Amino acid sequence: MSQQESNSVPDHSGMPALGFGTWQNDDPEQCTESVRTALEAGYRHVDTAQAYGNEAAVGAGIDAASVDREDVFLATKVWIDQLAHDDVLASTEASLDRLGTDYLDLLYVHWPADAYDPEGTLSAFEELYDAGTIERIGVSNFEPEHLDVAREAIDAPIFANQVEMHPLLQQRELREYCEDAGIELVAYSPLARGDVFDVDVLSDIADDHGVSEAAVSLAWLREKGVTAIPKATSEAHIRDNWSSLGVDLSAADIERIDDIDEQRRLIDPDFGPDGW
């Protein structure tokens, strides 16, 4: 294992390739403290969503850290019942107020569901983009067919697609599509909600490097050019995920992980895309 500098995070088109996820981090005091801890540890990418109910706590954590807002890549997502054109504009303004900021580095459509209408929804995103309120337009849980339609709906670029991805759900087809289209792929649940700790291949590689299975999984995603946003609340887990930046996987390690033949999708709500 070769150790990179502790603050050496690969950059994907201006987006730090290791971020801090806040899904289910819904205790306000804990969320604020974990965001502050993550930023003090070196993270510069924080991900939240309207549906998480923690935007105010995330904003408080950013404000509490000794890091300038301009140095933090901040992303949130518009929930499915707020995706009508005017609701996008109004709910984003409310998100900005809760987060205590006047702009977002990235705003996502959370799911292509419910009130989502490609032209109506994304035209509102484009208005926010043209106004400088958001610096990048993102989508989440989009399959290639959704991306095709979204890219036709607006002139502004689709910057990123955030999806479930980990060694047990490798998203090969979607990775190829996004690479060809110049769309960044962002992985949520990059540790498969803890399932990576029970995969023998990952445990063997982790033992070889003297690190955790989590660090190996995050390093593998980095090797694939994917931005990971693992969630954590304790300082120990926050720092362990950060330590993945110092893990240098060999070609043989990567091949062994690539050969894991599973399609273990853990996030699959009723309103999710059919047939994925």
Contact 21, 229 (CB under 8 A): yes
Helix (H) or strand (E) holding 16: strand 15-16
H helix or E strand, kind and range, residue 162: strand 158-164
Q: What angle do CA 145, 149, 153 make, to 5 degrees?
A: 165
Cβ neighbors of 123 (< 8 A, separation 6 or more) are 85, 153, 154
Strand pairing report for 11-12 and 15-16: antiparallel
Secondary structure element (H or E) that encloses residue 21, with its range: strand 20-21
Residue with tokens 């409310």: 94
Residue in 59, 56, 54, 11 with CA at minimum distance from that of residue 39: 59
Report residue 58 as tokens. Answer: 């995330």
In Å, how far from its chain's centre is CA 26?
A: 17
Radius of gyration of the chain (CA): 18
Catalytic positions are 52
Write 121-126 long-range contacts (CB < 8 A, 24+).
121/83, 121/84, 121/85, 121/88, 122/150, 122/153, 122/154, 123/85, 123/153, 123/154, 124/85, 124/86, 124/88, 124/89, 125/88, 125/154, 125/156, 126/154, 126/155, 126/156
| 69 vs 52: CA distance, rounded Å | 21
